[in-house]
Amino acid sequence: MLGIMYLAAILATLPLVFILGHLLVQGASSISLDFFTKMPRPVGEAGGGLANAIVGTLVLIGIASAIGLPIGVGAGLFLAERRGTKTANAVRFLSDVLNGLPSIVMGIFAWQFLVRPLGHFSAAAGGVALGAMMIPLVTRTTEEMIRLVPTALREAALALAYPNWRTSLTIVLRTALPGIVTGALVAVARIAGETAPLLFTAFGNQFWSTSLNEPISALPLQIFNYAISPYDEWHKLAWAGAVVLIALVLVISLAARYATRARFGNASD
């Protein structure tokens, strides 16, 4: 029995080891300073980088966070505070459904409401699609982290003449903050690699663009486009892009772990 468990544990980690190993073998050689600072070159020319895709991914993460974090944290606070009410149960259920929605559906939704009416693809539409994906993730972790805050702490604040909203914000939410930050970072890591919601919203862009109103490049999109191309040069860039994307997610995950550990930082607030 113990042997089977060990075997399962090894098999569980094997895909990651295999993927990371293969990516590094294939992609590491193409990663250089140029990869981060240069634009893609035309077919046939060696070198070039994915600077526009890296910046595009960061822009998309920014828009998604601006939408997903405030709504998600607010909804999570609502669920924790109104625990047990019919509204809260309904919101929690719908949030779980949203969480289970295939990401391509998010893309269709953003396409229908932002791309079609405006008549063109845009970074904003891609950011909205990713933001909508973030909302349920952030909502649930926020709710769970707030529920970990002891009721006694809340009562202590109320007994000190704190109004309800002050108690929720400065005591309960503040105490749960490290956990919420972790949840938010995990959500960012999760959406950073999404491709499907961007296919017909952000669309991708071979040129430099940071405008929210125009199509924008993104690492997952660029990897996809390069991978299905027939050119060896582009294949190499796709591998390198995958390594950078995984490194980005890894860095965010590590930051999340660090945020959980640093429970008590500066005492000034």
User: Nearer to other proteins by C-beta: 128 or 176?
Assistant: 176
User: Nearer to other proteins by C-beta: 13 or 266?
Assistant: 266
User: Nearer to other proteins by C-beta: 12 or 267?
Assistant: 267
* Shortest CB 77 distance to other proteins, Å: 16
Q: Give 175's Cβ-side CA count (13 Å radius).
A: 18
Q: Does residue 145 touch other proteins according to CB under 8 A?
A: no
* Shortest CB 261 distance to other proteins, Å: 14
User: Nearer to other proteins by C-beta: 2 or 161?
Assistant: 161
Please report the sign of the dihedral spanned by the C-alpha atoms of residue 185, residue 194, residue 66, residue 209: positive
Q: How far apart are CA 163 and CA 168, in angstroms?
A: 9
* Shortest CB 266 distance to other proteins, Å: 9
User: Nearer to other proteins by C-beta: 177 or 212?
Assistant: 177
Listed residue (139, 126, 62, 66) closest to 98, CA to CA? 139
Please report the sign of the dihedral spanned by the C-alpha atoms of residue 71, residue 77, residue 82, residue 88: positive
Among 16, 28, 153, 228, binds other proteins (CB under 8 A): 153
Q: Pattern of binders to other proteins over 158-197, x per CB under 8 A?
A: xxxxxx--x---xx--xx-x--------------------
* Shortest CB 227 distance to other proteins, Å: 46
User: Nearer to other proteins by C-beta: 96 or 155?
Assistant: 155
Other CB atoms within a 10 A radius of the CB of residue 100 amount to 8
CA distances from 6 to 12, 13, 254 (A): 10, 11, 26
User: Nearer to other proteins by C-beta: 42 or 264?
Assistant: 264
CA distances from 205 to 45, 97, 199, 200, 219 (A): 19, 32, 11, 12, 11
Size of interface with other proteins, in residues (CB under 8 A): 24
Within 238-267, the residues that bind other proteins by CB under 8 A are: 263-264, 267
227 residue type, one letter = A
Within 57-116, the residues that bind other proteins by CB under 8 A are: 84
Please list the residues that pair with 33 across neighbouring strands. none
Among 17, 102, 150, 250, binds other proteins (CB under 8 A): 150
The alpha carbon of residue 186 and the mean position of all alpha carbons in its chain are separated, in whole angstroms, by: 7
Other CB atoms within a 10 A radius of the CB of residue 104 amount to 15
SS3 assignment, position 73: helix
* Shortest CB 68 distance to other proteins, Å: 24
Q: How far apart are CA 99 and CA 133, in angstroms?
A: 7
Query: Which positions touch other proteins (CB under 8 A)?
Result: 84, 150, 152-153, 155-163, 166, 170-171, 174-175, 177, 263-264, 267-269
